């Protein structure tokens, strides 16, 4: 499936992007949510304006404000809780950001320390 093809997302709308790339990004976000937050994990799809947003939320320790802007950089494993956690190269969120950008979207994080983190993927709506 090519980058310009439509992908239905949970019946909530359609996004323009590659099914394989979207799957890779979601698998990475779900894997991180399990490693750092544990279940339960919430996944929501929201059509907002001209984009479809996919939100992946955990209830883990959260990400300190000063480190949130760094989590998408290469080899970042911010915070003491993250560096003690199992495995990882620090490339997953960097690769996810690049894949989402190549599909014309963006990825961001919202987090309050102590209350978990929500990663938001915004892709153009079909």
Residues 6+ apart with CB under 8 A from 42: 55, 56, 57, 58
- Which of helix, strand or coil describes residue 53? strand
Tally the domains of the chain. 1
Range of the domain at 67: 6-124
Q: Domain for residue 48, yes or no?
A: yes
pTM for this prediction: 0.80
**Does residue 1 lie in a domain region?**
no
Hey, what are 60's tokens?
């883990």
d(CA 112, CA 67): 12
**Domain presence at residue 20:** yes
60 in a domain, yes or no? yes
Q: What is the pLDDT along the chain (126 residues), one digit of tens a residue?
A: 344 433 333 446 678 888 999 999 999 999 999 888 878 899 999 999 999 999 999 989 999 998 888 999 876 555 544 444 555 667 899 999 999 999 999 999 999 888 999 999 999 987
| Residue 3 contacts residue 22 (beta carbons within 8 Å) | no
Residue 36 lies in a domain: yes
Whichever domain contains 12, its CATH number is 3.30.565.10
Using an 8 Å Cβ cutoff, are 6 and 19 in contact? Answer: no
Whether 25 maps to a domain, the answer reads yes
Kindly state the tokens that stand for 36: 């750092």
């Amino acid at each position: 499936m090519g980058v310009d093809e439509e992908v239905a997302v949970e019946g909530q709308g359609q996004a323009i992007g590659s099914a394989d790339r979207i799957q890779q990004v979601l698998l990475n976000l779900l894997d991180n949510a399990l490693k750092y937050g544990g279940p339960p994990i919430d996944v929501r799809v929201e059509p907002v304006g001209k984009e479809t947003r996919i939100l992946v939320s955990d209830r883990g320790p959260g990400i300190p404000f000063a480190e949130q802007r760094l989590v998408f950089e290469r080899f970042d494993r911010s915070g003491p809780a993250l560096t003690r956690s199992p495995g990882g190269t620090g490339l997953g969120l960097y690769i996810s950001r690049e894949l989402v950008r190549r599909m014309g979207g963006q990825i961001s994080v919202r987090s309050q320390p102590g209350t978990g983190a929500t990663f938001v993927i915004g892709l153009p709506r079909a």
